[in-house]
Amino acid sequence: MSIESNSKTEKAAFTSLLPIFAFIKPYKKRVASALLALVLTAMVSLSLGQGVKYVIDSGFIAGSQEQLTQAILVLIGLISLLAVGTFCRFYLMSWLGERVSGDIRKAVFKQIVALHPSYFEENRSGELMSRLTTDTVLLQSIVGSSFSMALRSGFMLIGALVMLFVTNLKLTLIVLTTLPLVLLPMMLYGRRVRNLAASSQDAIADVGTYAGEIIQNIKVVQSYTREEAEHQAFSGEVEKAFEIAKHRVWQRSLLIAGVIFLTFAAISAMLWSGGTDVLNGKMSGGDLGAFVFYAIMVAMSVATVAEVYGELQRAAGAATRLLELLKVQSDIKESSLPITMPVDHPQAISLEQIDFYYPSRPDKAALRDINLSIPKGKIVALVGPSGAGKTTLFELLQRFYDPQQGQVKFKGIDISNIALTELRQSMGLVSQQPVLFSTNVYNNIAYGKPDATKEEVIAAAKRAHADEFIEQLPDGYQSFLGEQGVRLSGGQKQRIALARAILKDPEILLLDEATSALDAESEHHVQAALNELMKDRTTLIIAHRLSTVLHADIIVVMDQGKVVDSGTHHSLLESSTLYRRLCELQFEQA
Ligand X SMILES: Nc1ncnc2c1ncn2[C@@H]1O[C@H](COP(=O)(O)OP(=O)(O)OP(=O)(O)O)[C@@H](O)[C@H]1O
Give residue 347's region: left, alpha or beta (phi > 0; psi -120 to 50).
beta
Task: Output 73-82 pairs: Cβ under 8 A, ≥24 positions apart.
Answer: 75/48, 75/51, 78/44, 78/47, 78/48, 78/51, 79/48, 81/40, 81/44, 82/41, 82/44, 82/45, 82/48
φ, ψ dihedrals at 374, nearest 5°: -120, 110
What track of x and - describes contact with ligand X for positions 313 through 352 (by CB under 6 A)? ----------------------------------------
Is 399 an interacting residue with respect to ligand X (CB under 6 A)? no
For the CB of residue 241, give the shortest distance to Mg ion in the complex, in Å.
40
What track of x and - describes contact with ligand X for positions 353 through 382 (by CB under 6 A)? -----x-xx----x----------------
What track of x and - describes contact with ligand X for positions 418 through 447 (by CB under 6 A)? --------------x---------------
Secondary structure string (H, E, C) spanning 361-418: CCCCEEEEEEEEEEECCCEEEEECCCCCCHHHHHHHHCCCCCCCEEEEEECCEEHHHC
For the CB of residue 395, give the shortest distance to Mg ion in the complex, in Å.
10
Judged by beta carbon distances under 5 to 8 A according to partner kind, the member of Mg ion, ligand X, none in contact with residue 180 is none
Closest by CA to 218, choosing from 235, 206, 207, 231, is 231
For the CB of residue 387, give the shortest distance to Mg ion in the complex, in Å.
8
For the CB of residue 512, give the shortest distance to ligand X in the complex, in Å.
7
Is 398 an interacting residue with respect to ligand X (CB under 6 A)? no
Contact 298, 164 (CB under 8 A): yes
Q: Which is nearer to ligand X, 393 or 458 (CB)?
A: 393
Q: Which is nearer to ligand X, 219 or 361 (CB)?
A: 361
* Rounded Cα distance, 469 and 377, in Å: 31
Closest by CA to 554, choosing from 298, 372, 395, 407, is 372
For the CB of residue 539, give the shortest distance to Mg ion in the complex, in Å.
17
Segment lying near Mg ion (by CB under 5 A), choices 125-133, 179-187, 428-436, 551-559: 428-436
- Interface of this chain with ligand X, residues 93 to 122, rule: CB under 6 A: 121
Is 390 an interacting residue with respect to ligand X (CB under 6 A)? yes
Find the angle CA(40)-CA(45)-CA(47) to the nearest 5 degrees: 95
Contact 561, 388 (CB under 8 A): yes
Distances from the Cα of 39 to the Cα of 46, 98, 137, angstroms: 11, 22, 26
With CB under 6 A as the rule, give the number of residues binding ligand X. Answer: 13
Q: Which is nearer to ligand X, 306 or 542 (CB)?
A: 542
Q: Which is nearer to ligand X, 121 or 243 (CB)?
A: 121
CB closest to Mg ion, residue no: 391
Segment lying near ligand X (by CB under 6 A), choices 126-134, 258-266, 269-277, 383-391: 383-391
* Rounded Cα distance, 14 and 70, in Å: 48
What contacts 229, CB < 8 A, 6 or more positions away? none
Segment lying near ligand X (by CB under 6 A), choices 24-32, 305-313, 329-337, 387-395: 387-395
Is 388 an interacting residue with respect to ligand X (CB under 6 A)? yes
568 C-beta neighbours (distance < 10 Å), count: 13
- Interface of this chain with ligand X, residues 137 to 196, rule: CB under 6 A: none
Segment lying near Mg ion (by CB under 5 A), choices 55-63, 90-98, 396-404, 431-439: 431-439
Single out the residue of 389, 403, 485, 506 in contact with ligand X (rule: CB under 6 A): 389
Is 560 an interacting residue with respect to Mg ion (CB under 5 A)? no
Is 391 an interacting residue with respect to ligand X (CB under 6 A)? yes
Is 391 an interacting residue with respect to Mg ion (CB under 5 A)? yes
Closest by CA to 501, choosing from 545, 463, 451, 453, is 463
Contact 465, 526 (CB under 8 A): yes
Query: Residue 559 belongs to what H/E stretch?
Result: strand 554-559
Single out the residue of 387, 471, 483, 489 in contact with ligand X (rule: CB under 6 A): 387
For the CB of residue 448, give the shortest distance to ligand X in the complex, in Å.
22
Is 392 an interacting residue with respect to ligand X (CB under 6 A)? yes
Contact 189, 306 (CB under 8 A): no
Q: Which amino acid is at 385?
A: P
The torsion defined by the Cα of 167, 169, 172 and 174, in degrees rounded to 10, comes to: -140
* Rounded Cα distance, 316 and 10, in Å: 8
Is 273 an interacting residue with respect to Mg ion (CB under 5 A)? no
Judged by beta carbon distances under 5 to 8 A according to partner kind, the member of ligand X, Mg ion, none in contact with residue 389 is ligand X
Q: Which is nearer to ligand X, 366 or 370 (CB)?
A: 366
Q: Which is nearer to ligand X, 232 or 330 (CB)?
A: 330
Distances from the Cα of 16 to the Cα of 12, 46, 87, 107, 134, angstroms: 7, 33, 30, 17, 17
Q: Which is nearer to ligand X, 417 or 515 (CB)?
A: 515
Is 408 an interacting residue with respect to ligand X (CB under 6 A)? no
Segment lying near ligand X (by CB under 6 A), choices 55-63, 269-277, 390-398, 581-589: 390-398
Q: Which is nearer to Mg ion, 416 or 515 (CB)?
A: 515
25 C-beta neighbours (distance < 10 Å), count: 10
351 C-beta neighbours (distance < 10 Å), count: 20
Is 134 an interacting residue with respect to Mg ion (CB under 5 A)? no
Residues near Mg ion (CB under 5 A) are 391, 432
Residues near ligand X (CB under 6 A) are 121, 358, 360-361, 366, 386-392, 432
